Amino acid sequence: MDFEKAIVEFGTEAVLRYRTVAEPRHDNELSESFLRSFVSTRLHERFGYQVHVERLYIAMALDLGMPVTPDLVAVLGAFRADVAVYESGRPSAILELKIFDAASPLPSLGLELDKAQILARFAKLRIFVGVMICPIIVSLEARIERLHDTFGGNMYVGERQHSRDRQWQWSFACASLGEKCAFLLSRMRAPPKARPSHEATPRL
């Protein structure tokens, strides 16, 4: 759970740092590219890992010594992992980061996790999801509970944070998917877009 706690710590820091740098109207206007870069840098500083941002899955397949066939190239295509952690020159963990501010009941990560699972079949590879949880349609606590039900005991949730205008709260969480990845894929496909209610915190 130490890795999950570190991701929550770094993800929370990223949101607060971006709030200082950009002074956005809403905290969930955080740039996902900023989030990836910030978390990657902090992972390297804390643990000394070699960390890649937006690493091509096909490049990781090569690094793992997998036979790169036309079929594999077709499946992995140009998809990238948000963050790829390497140890001894080989991928050891994949981290997907998401700002969960859509009206859907779960963050849409199906395609990304599908590519990660393909690599995990050939090598020992840990898969993590880090999420900034925002209250859209339902309360923050209800969203956290739904994610807990989905990820089980493998999810660590950080402290509740007040938004810049102190009108709402958000929290960062991280889950290790492990053997539940295949089951979760079917639940985290991108749903149809829903229109947020007046209580939603918009990203402008």
Q: What is the pLDDT of residue 61?
A: 95
The confidence band for 202, taking pLDDT boundaries of 50, 70 and 90, is very low
Question: Residues 127-149: what's their mean pLDDT?
Answer: 92
- DSSP assigned state of 199: T
Tell me: pLDDT of 187 over 60: no
Q: Give the pLDDT score at 104.
A: 73
Quick one: pLDDT band at residue 110, thresholds 50, 70, 90? low
pLDDT at 4 exceeding the cut of 60: yes
E strand or H helix at 136, and its extent?
none
pTM of the entire predicted model = 0.84
Q: For 164-180, what is each residue's pLDDT tens digit?
A: 999 999 999 999 986 55
DSSP state string for 144-185: HHHHHHHHGGGEEE---EE-TTSS-EEEEEEEE-GGGHHHHH
Residue 198 CB-half CA count within 13 A = 0
* Mean pLDDT to the nearest integer, 132-152: 90
- CA quadruple 46, 18, 154, 2: dihedral, nearest 10: 20
Residue 44 contacts residue 12 (beta carbons within 8 Å): no
Per-residue pLDDT band for 122 (boundaries 50, 70, 90) equals confident
Calpha distance 66→119 (Å, rounded): 9
Tokens of 85: 């952690």
Alpha-carbon distance values, 121 to 40, 63, 179, 182 (Å): 24, 15, 11, 11
Which tens digits make up the pLDDT trace of 40-66? 999 999 999 999 999 999 999 999 999
More confident residue, 202 or 19: 19
pLDDT at 182 over 50: no
Confidence at residue 51, expressed as pLDDT on a 0 to 100 scale: 98
Eight-class DSSP state of 121: T
108: DSSP letter: -
User: What local confidence, expressed as pLDDT, does residue 179 receive?
Assistant: 53
What is the C-alpha separation between 50 and 82, in angstroms, rounded?
A: 14
